[in-house]
Amino acid sequence: MADERVFTVHGMSCTGCADRIEGVLQRLEGVTRVNADHRSGVVRVRFNEQQVSENDLVERIESAGYQVTRPTPR
């Protein structure tokens, strides 16, 4: 099933940061679409929840050096 999360990411200061986050997330199997905006700090991710979890996404962003505020569960 496709799912979507919107994360608030702290530490993105330029388009390079946004590109980097998009790149590392897109390399995860199961991630189908990523949009990161460094001005708002919003990272929107569409993914197949059978292949990748919200935890995987958070860990990947954090290991790239950014802090993540988890979305409120729906």
List residues binding Cu ion (CB under 5 A).
13-14, 16-17
Q: How far apart are CA 46 and CA 44, in angstroms?
A: 7
Instruction: Identify whether the C-beta of residue 61 lies closer than 8 Å to the C-beta of residue 44.
Output: no
Question: Cβ 64 to Cu ion, closest distance in Å?
Answer: 11
Q: Which is nearer to Cu ion, 38 or 45 (CB)?
A: 38
Which residues are 10's β-sheet partners? 67
Q: Which is nearer to Cu ion, 47 or 66 (CB)?
A: 66
Q: What is the DSSP letter of 49?
A: T
Q: Which is nearer to Cu ion, 12 or 52 (CB)?
A: 12
